[in-house]
Amino acid sequence: ETGVTQTPRHLVMGMTNKKSLKCEQHLGHNAMYWYKQSAKKPLELMFVYSLEERVENNSVPSRFSPECPNSSHLFLHLHTLQPEDSALYLCASSQNLGGGRSNYGYTFGSGTRLTVV
Amino acid sequence: AQSVTQLGSHVSVSEGALVLLRCNYSSSVPPYLFWYVQYPNQGLQLLLKYTSAATLVKGINGFEAEFKKSETSFHLTKPSAHMSDAAEYFCAVTFYSYNGGSQGNLIFGKGTKLSVKP
């Protein structure tokens, strides 16, 4: 399988549940990202991992907890979410070439449509 | 800080007509600019990118965009719309600083939904 794969595609969870979103990339990239896409809002960058280290956390609430065990896998652990957290969560990857260089090609997964009830 | 503004949240064209989707950017350093397309229930797919080489950039599916520094614009065009072009289009900006060796993350516009009428 090639590209960026996200599972599950759809998730409905209650506010007291704990669930995890999974992202896997088969492109040999060394940076991965979580984005949140809500209706009528711009895509929001949530987390950035480069070489498996978190390099950016854009003031995301602690009920979202990322994990990057290796360069191919990225998780987003969810707990005690709110209805306003319902959105499409997109994972992306890119190749940072070192020395500050990048090919700038972000490859996106198909997303997980999350509904919090 | 960097930002992009996409003018028009919805654009409707007839099949065969010119497609023009507008994007203006704001950046204190030379930008790198991108257009992505999102079909329903899909992720984002890269259409084309400008990374300081040729100002006229050709992408997939017959789309192209021109970087105009004087107008801080990077509008997306296609000469003849096809029904399959109906989707949401996102403009995005980032930067690379050779001096500092730093690299920004992609910042997206709000998107423009393109409808194509038969």
What is the pLDDT of chain A when averaged over all its residues? 88
**In chain A, which residues have their Cβ closer than 8 Å to the Cβ of B46?**
105-107
Omega prior to B30 cis, within 30 of 0: no
Name which residue leads in pLDDT, B107 or B29: B107
pLDDT confidence of residue B70? 92
Measured distance CA(A58)–CA(A45) in Å, rounded: 7
Q: Report whether B34 contacts B95 (CB < 8 A).
A: no
pLDDT for B3-43, tens place per residue? 899 999 999 999 999 999 999 998 877 788 999 999 988 88
pLDDT confidence of residue B100? 45
What is the pLDDT of chain B when averaged over all its residues? 89
DSSP B104: P
Q: What is the largest CA-CA distance in chain A?
A: 45
Say if residue B101's pLDDT is above 50. no
B103 in contact with chain A, both atoms CB, cutoff 8 A: yes
Least confident of B41-45, B101-105, B107-111: B101-105
Nearest to A29 by CA among A7, A8, A48: A48
DSSP B52: S
Nearest to A87 by CA among A56, A43, A47, A22: A43
CA distance A14 to chain B (A): 22
Residues of chain A with pLDDT under 70: 1-2, 97-104
pLDDT for B41-94, tens place per residue? 888 999 999 987 789 999 999 999 999 999 999 999 999 999 999 999 999 988
pLDDT confidence of residue B27? 81
Beta-sheet pairing, A4-7 with A53-57: unpaired
Measured distance CA(B39)–CA(B84) in Å, rounded: 9
pLDDT confidence of residue A58? 73
- Interchain contact, A100 vs B103, CB within 8 Å: yes
DSSP B106: P
Say if residue B99's pLDDT is above 60. no
**In chain B, which residues have their Cβ closer than 8 Å to the Cβ of A101?**
96
| Number of C-beta neighbours around residue B87 at 10 A | 21
pLDDT confidence of residue A104? 65
Minimal-distance CA residue of chain A relative to B99:
A100
Q: Report whether A94 contacts A29 (CB < 8 A).
A: yes
> What is the 3-class SS of chain A, one letter each residue?
CCCEEEECCEEEECCCCEEEEEEEECCCCCEEEEEEECCCCCCEEEEEEECCEEEEECCCCCCEEEEEEECCEEEEEEECCCHHHCEEEEEEEECEEECCEECCCCEECCCEEEEEC
Q: Report whether B38 contacts B47 (CB < 8 A).
A: no
pLDDT confidence of residue B105? 76
The residues, ordered by sequence, that sit 6+ positions from A86 with a Cβ below 8 Å of its Cβ are A38, A114, A115, A116
pLDDT confidence of residue B51? 82
Nearest to B44 by CA among A89, A22, A83: A89
The residues, ordered by sequence, that sit 6+ positions from A59 with a Cβ below 8 Å of its Cβ are none
**In chain B, which residues have their Cβ closer than 8 Å to the Cβ of A31?**
none
A·B CB contacts under 8 A: 56
pLDDT confidence of residue A102? 56
